[in-house]
């Protein structure tokens, strides 16, 4: 019994938690849920950023929302580095990135047109 007790105590560690006996499929499913949550959050952040730029271009705010833009780009970078995306998640992510890229080009052209002097 001494050997089993020593093994079990090593497995539960100092914190006293039970060892993780979940299957890899269960772990991937839980990881997938968090990735789905990240993708939903990214979609919401892109939508909010579009609204913020629309407010800026219509005169509702004095400064463009560059901080929010940086957060969206950091989130895109973080998710793109993740190698555990399923095909459906990768497709949805690529769709979001394409949408963000088209918005970014629109905002760049609009900012450029506003800042260029007219003769």
Query: Domain limits of the chain?
Result: 24-115
More confident residue, 105 or 33: 105
For residue 3, what pLDDT is reported?
Answer: 73
Give the tokens for residue 30. 């839980």
pTM: 0.71
Place of tokens 């690529």: 94
Closest to 93 (Cα-Cα) out of 50, 46, 49: 46
For residue 84, what pLDDT is reported?
Answer: 87
How far apart, in whole angstroms, are the C-alpha atoms of residue 54 and residue 109? 14
Which residues does 28 contact at the CB level (< 8 Å), separation at least 6? 84
Residues above pLDDT 70, as percent of the chain: 72
Residue 1 has pLDDT above 80, yes or no: no
For residue 117, what pLDDT is reported?
Answer: 77
Residue 2 has pLDDT above 80, yes or no: no
Mean pLDDT of 58-70: 94
For residue 12, what pLDDT is reported?
Answer: 66
Mean pLDDT of 107-115: 92
For residue 9, what pLDDT is reported?
Answer: 67
Q: How far is CA 49 from CA 52, 54, 66, 99, in A?
A: 5, 9, 9, 12
């Amino acid at each position: 019994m001494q050997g089993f007790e020593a093994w079990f105590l090593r497995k539960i560690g100092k914190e006293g938690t039970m060892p993780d006996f979940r299957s890899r499929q269960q772990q991937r499913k839980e990881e997938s849920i968090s990735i789905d949550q990240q993708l939903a959050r990214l979609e919401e952040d892109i939508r909010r950023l579009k609204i913020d730029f629309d407010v800026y271009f219509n005169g509702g705010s004095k400064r463009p929302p560059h901080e929010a833009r940086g957060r969206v780009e950091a989130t895109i970078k973080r998710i793109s580095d993740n190698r555990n995306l399923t095909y459906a998640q990768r497709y949805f992510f690529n769709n979001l990135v394409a949408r963000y890229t088209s918005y970014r080009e629109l905002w760049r052209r609009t900012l450029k047109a506003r800042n260029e002097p007219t003769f």
